Each structure stands twice: as structure tokens, then as C-alpha cells.
Chains A and B, each alone.
Chain A
Amino acid sequence: MTEPVLSVRNLKVEFASRRGTLRAIDGVSFDIAKGEVLGVVGESGAGKSVTGLAVIGLIDPPGRIAGGEIHLAGLRIDNLPPEEMRRIRGKRIGMIFQDPLTSLNPLYRVGDQIVETIRTHLNLSEAAARRRAIDLLAEVGIPAPEKRIDGYPHEFSGGMRQRVVIALAICAEPELIIADEPTTALDVSVQAQIISLIKRLGRDHGTAVMLVTHDMGVIAETSDRVAVMYAGRVAEIGPVQDVVKNPLHPYAKGLMGAIPTLAGDDKRLVQIPGSMPRLSAIPRGCSFNPRCAFAFDRCRVERPEPLPRGAQSVACHLYDNVPAESAA
């Protein structure tokens, strides 16, 4: 197997607070291969966005990476000096944020922002950079890019702005794109367009994509593999087909059942009692045990480690010492 574009090993992120240190990410590991889209799904506070920010080196104090390693195509990047990290950010890792209005500077023309980014990372003349910016805008599906390049962000609609942000993210041909809730602020009809655009980019350029979202539907449409996060840990990771159709972890099962679908019947939705624990009060043992219908003594004492289960990997004691056939 070739080397993954992104490899995260046992990542821990902590935030110092007056009431002690809060661990937002607690031992997260995953790989993303070239051209692969990894969906990271979970509810608010699960640590999805913090994981993305840690990869791109944007954890601000009081937060810090407290342990683990992040490798970008073999290069360890979690301990790089800020100046070197700045050169990687934007050049080798592109970022798409949730709100396209706040990720563009309202005072600069869209084209100037793209040209600036291109010239920061690539050795191109002003004119060549502008030509490239027009090509990029055309590629992300903005009509009449040679005119629109001189528009200001407020002259674009939400969906068009998100396309500009995507153009910015891919302008230096990065190996990895981190998309943090790229479609959450958009209407469904526009969301569908943006999803197919992200998919196409991964396919055409071989870019690895880490897609952070709370919307399982978006993941099912876009991703190759999916990681389900809960309280700062990966509960389950595996090929998207397997995780969606045959989730193993009780939390993943509950999550899939809780989503109303267009095809489903009108029966009651599966209900997970309670809510995600606060960072200051993560339960002992498995962090899901107070909400889990299958919890037994061991779950309340010992933290489950990820166990391989076919192509999936699940952090749950239920699957320990159980023959693989009976669970699959």
C-alpha cells in the first residue's frame, strides 16, 4: 500500500481552563489515502472541527496538541515551527470553512483574494495568476468568471461564495483539503451542487479530502470512508457503505436510526437517551456507557480501544472476544 496523504496517530488536544485541563480530542487515529474522501461525523462537541483544526495547525492557545503525531505524506507536521507550517497551510493543505461569508474578506475583490493566494504559494506573474484565477472560478462552476472575478463577496450568493472559497482552497493544488461543514449554511438544492463539486475535485485531482459534517446524508453521498466521533474519540471507522448500512458501535447504530429519511416509514425514530457529556465530565470507562443500552460492568471501568472488525474498526467492548462471524 502506498503511503497515505494524511496520517493521524493517537492525537490528543487539550484546552487549559480555570477548572483544569479539558481534553477535547483523546487518542484519535486515522489515515486518508490519495483521492480518498474521509467523512468525519458526530454531534456538536464531538471534536470533529478541533481534529480538522489540529491537522492544519490552527489550534489557538489555550488549546494545544498534547500528544500524538500528524504526518502529511510522510512529513511530520504537528511540531513544525509556525513559519514552516504557514508555508504548508494553503499550499499543501487547503481549507474550506462552514460560513462562506466570514471566510472571504468583504473589502477585497474576489479575484484579488485568489490572486494573492496563488502568488503567495506559486511563483507566477500577476497576469498569469489572474488567468489561473479565472480558470479556477470556471472550474468550480461560476458563470462568466472573467466578469465575476472583479466582484466583491457581497455580490455573490451563498452558494457562489462557497464556490469561491473552494477555488481559494484548491488554487495551489493542495494534496489535502479539509472541509469543515462546507454545506451546512446552504439550502439543499445548492448543497447538492457543492457536494458534487467536492466529489469531482477529489476524483480529478487526486486530492485527499477530510469532510467534517454533522449530516450523515452528505457523508453517504460523498465519502469513501467515514469516522464516527463521540466525545473526542473515534467510536467507529470504516467504509461508508458498511458503517451506514451495518453500524457496529451502539452510538453509531443509534445515530443512524435517529435520522429521518425520505425512504423510511413513519415509525418512531430511534432515540438515544441523554446527550453528549461535557468535556469536564467525561464518564469513566467508555464515554458512551451512561447512554448505552448494552453497557456492562467493564464499560464503566475500562476504556475500549479500537478493534478491527472486517473493514471496519470499532471501539466497543461488545466486540471483544466475540468471533468475527457472529458480529459481521
Chain B
Amino acid sequence: MSVPFVQARNLRRVFDVSKPWLNRVLEGGHLEFLKAVDHVSFEIRKGETFALVGESGSGKTTVARMVVGLLPPSAGDVLIDGVSMTDPRQAPARRKLRRRIQMIFQDPYASLNPRFRVDAIISEPIRAFDLIQGERDIQARVGELLSLVGLHPDDRLKYPHEFSGGQRQRIAIARALASDAEFIVCDEPTSALDVSVQAQILNLMRDLQDKFGLTYMFISHNLAVVRHMASRVGVMYLGRIVEIAEGRELFARPRMPYTKMLLGAVPDLAMSGRQRIPVKGEIPNPISPPSGCAFNPRCPLAFDLCRKETPELIDGVACHAVNTAPVPA
């Protein structure tokens, strides 16, 4: 097997959510920390789509931001093509790497500067990395990128407000491609879009992947979208990856009770009347997570060990019940 393109090693991110110092002194109380991400490790091979899925507050976006370097991890490291995203000694190599990593955000209304014309938006990476010289060549490249994502080259003279949500997301994709990126982190790229537009964007993303051999990291809470896009999937719960598997395998044979519950909760368009695990409770407060396995208060299989010890990710599953005893089917 070749060396993975992206490696996340024991990522951890802690946010300080304490009250201000003066309030602590006057009103009492102590420092409070929110462990948004803990012990997250995964690998992404070149040309594949790796998805992180989970409910709100599970830490998906925090992981994505650490992978692209928008947020420094509290511990752990990310290696992209062998270059560390945190090691200060590798800063020159990292600068060269930056061009090859891009991100697409959830809200296409907030991620495009409303005062920039589309040509300025898309040519910004080209100019920043000094990829093409000469205004005429830059404009030609912008036009080419716009046709690539299904817009008209003349659209480069318009402003973002003249486009619908789906078209804006196409512009965001064109911007990501402008620097010849190889690795694109997509944080909920279709959550703000209607289903028919979502289908257009998902199809476009797959076409571009086939054409340029792109590697995607895909963040979503929508399991059906993840099922459609991802070759490998990591399921997150309260800051940890609780199950990681090939896409088909995960959806056909989920192992961790949380994954089973999550899959069972998805409204079923096929109306097959399948049996489902009733959903119990809600995601706990991440400031004071339950001891042991964070899922234990909601888990039908929980036993003593689950309340004491946090399970390690073994063979793709972090669950005492799965790893120590045969699971009743």
C-alpha cells in the first residue's frame, strides 16, 4: 500500500470556555474546558473521498479546520504528503503545500466576498500563488474554470449577489480548483441547498474528482449524502471517531451501536418498513461528558466497563461491547 496522502495523528483540540478571570474571582467557579476533538486519527489515500459524519457538536468541523491548518491542534499532528502542518521547522515546505489544499464551506452566502466580482474571487488564489502571469491569461483561466463548473465564462463580470445558492457553490468550487488543488476539504457543501441543486453539486464534485483525481475530505451530517459520496467513512460522537470503515461496509454492516442508531434514525424514502433501534436521549453536554464511553447513557449494550473506561479504536470500532464480547445481532 502506498503512503497515505493525508494522515491525522491523535488530533486533539481543547477550547477554553471559562468565564472571564474577573467573574471567576468575584463569583467563584473555575476554569472550564471543552474537549471538542480528542484522539482522532485517520488516513486519507490519494484520490479517495473520506467522509466524517456525526451530529452537531461532534467535532467534525473542528477536525476539518485543523486538517487544513485554519486551527492549530492542541495536540497531535496532521501530515499532508509527508509535510507536518504544525512543525515550525517545516514552514517552507508547508508554504509550497498550501496551494494544493483548498476548502469549500457550508454557506455560499458567507464564503464569497460580496464586494468582489467573480473574476476577482476566482483569480485570488492564482494571484496569491503567482501561478499565471499576465492579466489576459488570468482572465482566460477564470473563464475556463467557470465553464468547468457549469457556469458561463461571462459570469466572471458579475457579483455574488447575482447568483443563486447553487451557482455560488459552483463559484466556490471554481475558486478551490483555481490553484490546481489536489486535496479539497468540503465542510457541509450542500447543506444549505435544495435537493435538486444538491444533486447538481454532488454530481459536479464527482465529475471533477474523476477528471483531476482529486482527494476529498467530506464533512456532513447527512448520512445519505455521505453514502453517495464517500469511499471511506468515519463516524464521530462527542469529539471521537467511534467507527471507521469502508463506505459500503459501514452502511451495510454497522458495528458500533451509535452508528446503528444513527442509520436507523434516517427517514426512509424506500418505506421498506425495516426494524429500527428506537433512539434514546440526546447528545450529552461536551463540557461534562459521561465517564467512560461517551455513548454509554444512550447505549442498549452498555455494561460496567463502558461507564469506567473510554474504549480505544480497535479494528475500526471504539466499543467495549463489540471488541470484548460477541454482539447480539
Pair A259/B195 contact, Cβ less than 8 Å: yes
Of B221, B265, B269, the contact of A216 (CB 8 Å cutoff): B269
A54–B224 Cα distance when bound, in Å, is 33
Residue ID in chain B nearest A268 by CB atoms: B203
Once A187-B283, A244-B271 are accepted as A-B contacts, the answer to whether A260 and B266 lie under 8 Å apart by CB is no
Min CB distance, A142 to chain B, in Å?
12
CB interface residues, B 233-292, toward A, < 8 Å = 251, 261-272, 279, 282-283
Pair B282/A221 contact, Cβ less than 8 Å: no
A188–B53 Cα distance when bound, in Å, is 12
A57 within 8 A of B: no
Stretch from A106-114, A130-138, A189-197, A314-322 at the B interface = A189-197
Q: Which residues of A contact B223 (CB under 8 A)?
A: 188, 262
A187–B60 Cα distance when bound, in Å, is 14
Q: Which residues of B contact A157 (CB under 8 A)?
A: 282
Pair A269/B199 contact, Cβ less than 8 Å: yes
Q: Which residues of A contact B266 (CB under 8 A)?
A: 188, 192, 217, 262
Once A43-B195, A269-B199 are accepted as A-B contacts, the answer to whether A260 and B267 lie under 8 Å apart by CB is no
B228 within 8 A of A: yes
Once A218-B267, A221-B267 are accepted as A-B contacts, the answer to whether A258 and B279 lie under 8 Å apart by CB is no
Pair B55/A188 contact, Cβ less than 8 Å: yes
Q: Which residues of B contact A192 (CB under 8 A)?
A: 264-267, 279
Residue count of chain B within 8 Å CB distance of chain A: 38
Pair B199/A261 contact, Cβ less than 8 Å: no
In the complex, the number of residue pairs spanning A and B with C-beta atoms less than 8 Å apart equals 116
* Residue of B195, B200, B223, B272 contacting most chain A CB atoms (<10 Å): B195
> Hey, what's the 0/1 contact readout for B165-209 against A, CB within 8 Å counting as 1?
011000000000000000000000000001111111011001000
Pair B196/A254 contact, Cβ less than 8 Å: yes
Min CB distance, B271 to chain A, in Å?
5
Min CB distance, B315 to chain A, in Å?
24
Q: Which residues of B contact A271 (CB under 8 A)?
A: 196, 199-200, 203
A157–B55 Cα distance when bound, in Å, is 14
Residue ID in chain A nearest B272 by CB atoms: A263
A266 within 8 A of B: yes
Pair A262/B282 contact, Cβ less than 8 Å: no
Pair B269/A188 contact, Cβ less than 8 Å: no
Of B196, B264, B271, the contact of A220 (CB 8 Å cutoff): B271
Min CB distance, A37 to chain B, in Å?
14
A159 within 8 A of B: yes
CB interface residues, A 179-214, toward B, < 8 Å = 187-193, 195, 214
Min CB distance, B159 to chain A, in Å?
17
Pair A266/B282 contact, Cβ less than 8 Å: no
> Hey, what's the 0/1 contact readout for B44-56 against A, CB within 8 Å counting as 1?
0000000000011
A26–B187 Cα distance when bound, in Å, is 37
Of B203, B228, B267, the contact of A215 (CB 8 Å cutoff): B267
Pair B196/A195 contact, Cβ less than 8 Å: no
Residue ID in chain A nearest B247 by CB atoms: A266
Once A190-B282, A260-B228, A269-B228 are accepted as A-B contacts, the answer to whether A195 and B194 lie under 8 Å apart by CB is no
Pair A217/B269 contact, Cβ less than 8 Å: yes
A314–B264 Cα distance when bound, in Å, is 33
A44 within 8 A of B: yes
Q: Which residues of A contact B202 (CB under 8 A)?
A: 260, 269
A2 within 8 A of B: no
B120 within 8 A of A: no
B23 within 8 A of A: no
Once A187-B283, A188-B262, A266-B228 are accepted as A-B contacts, the answer to whether A275 and B197 lie under 8 Å apart by CB is yes
B225 within 8 A of A: yes
Q: Which residues of B contact A166 (CB under 8 A)?
A: none
Q: Which residues of B contact A191 (CB under 8 A)?
A: 265, 267
Pair B56/A259 contact, Cβ less than 8 Å: no
A128 within 8 A of B: no
A189–B55 Cα distance when bound, in Å, is 8
Min CB distance, B248 to chain A, in Å?
9
A300–B224 Cα distance when bound, in Å, is 36
Once A188-B262, A270-B199, A275-B197 are accepted as A-B contacts, the answer to whether A261 and B224 lie under 8 Å apart by CB is yes
A260–B269 Cα distance when bound, in Å, is 10
Of A259, A270, A276, the contact of B269 (CB 8 Å cutoff): A259
Q: Which residues of B contact A221 (CB under 8 A)?
A: 267-268, 271
A188–B166 Cα distance when bound, in Å, is 24
Pair B199/A244 contact, Cβ less than 8 Å: no
Min CB distance, B237 to chain A, in Å?
10
A157–B282 Cα distance when bound, in Å, is 9
B227 within 8 A of A: yes
Pair B55/A258 contact, Cβ less than 8 Å: no
Pair A220/B195 contact, Cβ less than 8 Å: no
A272 within 8 A of B: yes
A105 within 8 A of B: no
Q: Which residues of A contact B200 (CB under 8 A)?
A: 271-272
Min CB distance, A252 to chain B, in Å?
11
Q: Which residues of B contact A120 (CB under 8 A)?
A: none
Q: Which residues of A contact B228 (CB under 8 A)?
A: 260, 264, 266, 269
Min CB distance, B272 to chain A, in Å?
7
For the complex of A and B, list the 3 residue pairs with the smallest distance between their C-beta atoms, beginning with the closest: A217-B267, A258-B199, A260-B228
Interface residue ranges, A against B (CB under 8 Å): 43-44, 157, 159-160, 187-193, 195, 214-218, 220-221, 240-241, 244-245, 254-264, 266, 268-272, 275-276
9 other A-B residue contacts (CB within 8 Å) besides A189-B279, A262-B251:
A43-B197, A191-B265, A214-B194, A217-B266, A220-B271, A256-B269, A258-B195, A258-B199, A261-B270
8 contacts between A and B (CB under 8 A): A43-B196, A160-B282, A188-B266, A189-B262, A189-B283, A191-B265, A260-B228, A261-B269
